[in-house]
Homo-oligomer: A and B are copies of this chain.
C-alpha cells in the first residue's frame, strides 16, 4: 500500500490515507517521492476556491523523486533515456492535446482545454496523481525532466513551481539589460521573479511585500530594495517606486500577489510606455476598479497576462537552477520540511505566512 495525504473535501480534513500500488499502463512510470511542494494553490484547494476540483484530492503539483519503475522505454525532451534510479521532476500539466485550435493555430498551449493538472484537477479517485504521497503514478505522456547532476533535490524544491511560473512571467516581460523592475508580492513567485530579474541583468529590482522575513529573503535573492507593504500604504507605493527609479516608475512591473487591488497600484508604479505583467491572479478574488484613461491609455502601457506554464518553462527552470545554484541563496525560501502526517500543519504555516515555502517529505 501507498500512503498519501489527502484533502478530503473543501474545508478539509487533511488526512493520511492508504492507496493501492498503481498499475502501469504502457508508457507509464512510478516515482518514489523525495519531496513535494506546499504551494499557495494548496491553501486555495483546502478552502475550495478553485472550480472543477475533484475531491478527495492528493495535493502536490510540483514534486521530485526517484524513478522506481517504468513500463517501456521513456526519454526526456533531449531524447535521453530515463531509467529507474534517476532523480527527476515532471510537468504537473498533463494531457495537452497538441491537436486543438489553441495548441496548433493560436500556439497558446496553456489554454488547451484538455489540460489536466497533477495535484489540482486530477482527484485521488483517478490514482496517485498528486505529490503528497510516497509514490506518484506518472501516466503515459507525462513530461519528465531529470535533475542535472549536482542539483540537489531539496535545492530544486526552493525553486519549486514558482520558478517556472516566474520564468514564464519574465519571458513575457522581455527584460532588456538595465531595465528597472518592480515585483509586487513576496511569496514564492515574487521571490523567484526578483531572482530571475537579477539573473536577467535588470537595473534596480524592487520587491513590494510582507512580512519582513520574506523581504529579507528577497534582498538576499537579488532585490536592491524591499518596500514593506505593512508600513507603506497602497496609495504611497507608486511614488515610493518612482523615487527609486529616477522619478519615472519601473520599466517593468510583475504582479505576483493574488490580490485584485494590486492591479491599479501596479499600473501606477509602472512608467509610461512600460510593461506590466499579471501572473499572480490565479484564483478569482473579485473585482477591482481602475481608471482606463490614467492607468492604461495615457500611459501607453503594455499589460501582459500570463497563464500557466508549459514544458519549456519547467525544463529551462531546472537548467537555470543547476547553472546558478551557487550564485544565489535559493534555499533561503524553504522554511521547513513536513512529513505526510503534518500536511495540515504545513498548510496552516503557509496560509499564515509563517513559512515562505513548506515542503512535504513523505519519507520522514
Residues of chain A whose beta carbon lies under 8 Å from any beta carbon of chain B? 77-79, 98-102, 104-108, 110-111, 143, 167, 170-171, 174, 176-178, 196, 199-201, 203, 246, 248, 260, 263, 271-273, 278-294, 296-308, 310-312, 315-316, 319-320, 323
Contact = CB atoms under 8 A, between A and B. Distances in A.
Nearest to A113: B79
B289 A284 contact: no
A293 B50 CA distance: 12
21 contacts: A77-B101, A77-B105, A78-B101, A78-B246, A98-B98, A101-B246, A104-B310, A105-B315, A111-B300, A177-B200, A177-B320, A203-B320, A260-B292, A263-B296, A279-B297, A281-B297, A287-B291, A300-B307, A301-B303, A301-B304, A303-B303
Given A77-B99, A291-B287, A301-B305, A273 B108 contact: yes
* Copies of this polypeptide in the complex: 4
A248 to B, nearest CB: 7
Given A104-B77, A105-B77, A303-B296, A319 B178 contact: yes
Nearest to A306: B300
A285 B310 CA distance: 39
Contact of A260 (B105, B291, B303): B291
Q: Which of A283, A292, A296 has the most CB of B within 10 A?
A: A292
A302 B276 CA distance: 10
Contacts of A300: 108, 110-111, 305-308
Contact of A176 (B171, B282, B288, B315): B171
Contacts of A286: 291
Contacts of A100: 77, 79
Contacts of A246: 78, 101
A197 to B, nearest CB: 10
Contact of A102 (B272, B279, B304): B272
B273 A111 contact: yes
5 smallest CB-CB distances across A and B, nearest first, come from A108-B273, A303-B303, A281-B297, A300-B307, A199-B201
Contacts of A299: 305, 307
B297 A292 contact: no
A111 B248 CA distance: 11
A75 B203 CA distance: 23
Contacts of A111: 272-273, 300
Nearest to A204: B323
Q: Which of A107, A298, A301 has the most CB of B within 10 A?
A: A298
A270 to B, nearest CB: 11
A273 B320 contact: no
Contact of A263 (B101, B105, B292, B320): B292
Nearest to A248: B101
Contact of A281 (B176, B292, B304, B307): B292
Contacts of A287: 289-291
